[in-house]
């Protein structure tokens, strides 16, 4: 059966609540595209090997992610919220695809390399499950035979691997998979409040969508700005200054942002004013999201229904793909019967 609408597959690991980086890098696009595409939004709970000693956090985060999705306006009626492990066919497809992924290709994946280095530095060591997570992600994308994958910039190497495997599979075993296109959000890689690394749930440098107004204020007021500037009357730098990056990303009042930048460079505005205006802009963005989150938090059955319905849709789509894959690989043994003696 060919799906009537083109498909999107994208996902998030259940390792914590979602933050502004997810919003500007990915979620905004998802909300916009969900009317045009049939969307599979995945909660990737097979890909949390670095949290294997904290399953309680994973369990709680599955619900956090679902709540955040509902809060930003993803619609579980038209789209599918899929918990990865409710579709164990993902694991089967990963095994088959891993046959066609050279070890060296995986070792050279720059995102994986950087993340593995971080795990090692943290003295956690790298679980085998972590090393193979990009192959799992390839299986996630190919499973519903997605055409488009809206993600943050760090995911691009994984999508390139997906395209290579899809091409190879189609060439060697017959056309089964579309070659998916990536789509990076408005802010490809939002920096964290530390001004150093990518904003990430794992690095304690995030402003969460569910943070209350006071928490947002505290986090923004504590942000690094221009380290070369000691007094408000010193000329400041706007480029590379995380507070101005956030203004660009989240303050819709372009004239206000331009005015602040102009005064900052001249040394005519203090950090406190720049930050106070940023707090207001972020809280304006988050207010309706907080309101919708509270609505669903008070109605857990609605969240559960969304996850049950989405899991079933994911499972049904996976059955079709997995049987096509077994046929293409000629692993449908009983249907084919015993081969002639060779
Ligand atoms: P973790 O630290 O547990 O890996 P994470 O914050 O990196 O969490 P993921 O679940 O790995 O979140 O990523 C989900 C999606 O959000 C991906 O498409 C990713 O590219 C995007 N994303 C995550 N952080 C950012 C960011 N700071 N800027 C832009 N996009 C981001
Ligand atoms: Mg990540």
Residue nearest to atom 7 of ligand 1 (CA): 200
Given this structure, which CATH class describes domain 213-294?
A: mainly alpha
Between the CA of 259 and the centroid of ligand 1 the distance, in Å, is: 31
Give the ligand with the smallest distance to the CA of 151. 1
Given this structure, which CATH class describes domain 7-190+300-336?
A: alpha beta
Give the ligand with the smallest distance to the CA of 202. 1
Alpha carbons 229 and 240: distance in angstroms, whole number: 13
300-328 vs 89-98: helix crossing angle, rounded to 10: 40
Pocket of ligand 1 (CB under 6 A): 12-13, 15, 21-22, 25-26, 151-152, 154-155, 187, 189-190, 198-202
Which tens digit of pLDDT belongs to each residue from 63-78?
Answer: 999 999 999 999 999 9
Is residue 144 a contact partner of residue 7, using CB atoms and an 8 Å limit? yes
Between the CA of 22 and the centroid of ligand 1 the distance, in Å, is: 6
Between the CA of 1 and the centroid of ligand 1 the distance, in Å, is: 33
Alpha carbons 144 and 141: distance in angstroms, whole number: 7
Give the ligand with the smallest distance to the CA of 21. 1
Is residue 9 a contact partner of residue 143, using CB atoms and an 8 Å limit? yes
Is residue 267 a contact partner of residue 235, using CB atoms and an 8 Å limit? yes
Per-domain boundaries in the chain: 7-190+300-336, 213-294
Would you say the C-alpha torsion 12, 16, 22, 23 has a positive or negative sign?
Answer: positive
Which tens digit of pLDDT belongs to each residue from 221-269?
Answer: 999 888 888 888 999 999 999 999 999 999 999 999 999 999 999 999 9
In tens digits, the chain (342 residues) has pLDDT values of 556 799 999 999 999 999 999 999 999 999 999 999 999 999 999 999 999 999 999 999 999 999 999 999 999 999 999 999 999 999 999 999 999 999 999 999 999 999 999 888 878 889 999 999 999 999 999 999 999 999 999 999 999 999 999 999 999 999 999 999 999 999 999 999 999 999 998 788 999 999 999 999 999 999 988 888 888 899 999 999 999 999 999 999 999 999 999 999 999 999 999 999 999 999 999 999 999 999 999 999 999 999 999 999 999 999 999 999 999 999 999 999 999 887
């Amino acid at each position: 059966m060919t799906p009537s609408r083109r498909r999107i597959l994208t996902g998030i690991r259940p390792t914590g609540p979602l933050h502004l980086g997810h919003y500007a890098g990915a979620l905004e696009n998802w909300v916009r595209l969900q009317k045009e595409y049939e969307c599979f939004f995945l909660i990737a709970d097979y890909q949390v090997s670095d949290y294997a000693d904290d399953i309680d956090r994973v369990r709680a985060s599955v619900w956090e992610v679902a709540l955040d999705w509902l809060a930003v306006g993803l619609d579980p009626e038209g789209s599918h919220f899929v918990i990865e492990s409710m579709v164990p066919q993902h694991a089967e497809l990963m095994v088959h695809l891993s046959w066609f992924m050279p070890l060296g290709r995986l070792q050279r994946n720059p995102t994986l390399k950087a993340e593995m280095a971080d795990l090692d530095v943290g003295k956690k060591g790298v679980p085998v499950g972590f090393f193979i997570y990009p192959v799992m992600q390839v299986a996630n994308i190919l499973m519903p035979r997605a055409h488009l994958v809206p993600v943050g910039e760090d995911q691009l190497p994984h999508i390139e691997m997906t395209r290579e495997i899809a091409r190879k599979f189609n060439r060697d075993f017959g056309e089964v998979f579309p070659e998916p296109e990536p789509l990076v959000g408005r802010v490809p890689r939002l920096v964290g409040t530390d001004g150093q690394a990518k904003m990430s749930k794992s690095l304690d440098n995030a402003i969460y969508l569910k943070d209350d107004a006071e928490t947002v204020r505290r986090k923004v007021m504590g942000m690094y700005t221009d380290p070369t500037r000691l007094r408000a009357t010193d000329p400041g730098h706007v480029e590379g200054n995380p507070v101005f990056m956030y203004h660009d990303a989240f303050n819709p009042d372009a004239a206000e942002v331009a005015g602040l930048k102009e005064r900052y460079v001249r040394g005519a505005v203090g950090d406190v004013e720049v930050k106070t205006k940023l707090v207001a802009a972020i809280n304006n963005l988050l207010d309706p999201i907080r309101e919708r989150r509270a609505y669903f938090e008070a109605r857990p059955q609605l969240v559960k229904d969304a996850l049950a319905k989405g899991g079933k849709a994911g499972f049904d789509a996976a059955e079709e793909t997995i049987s096509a894959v077994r046929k293409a690989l000629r692993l449908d043994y009983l249907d084919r019967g015993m081969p002639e003696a060779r």
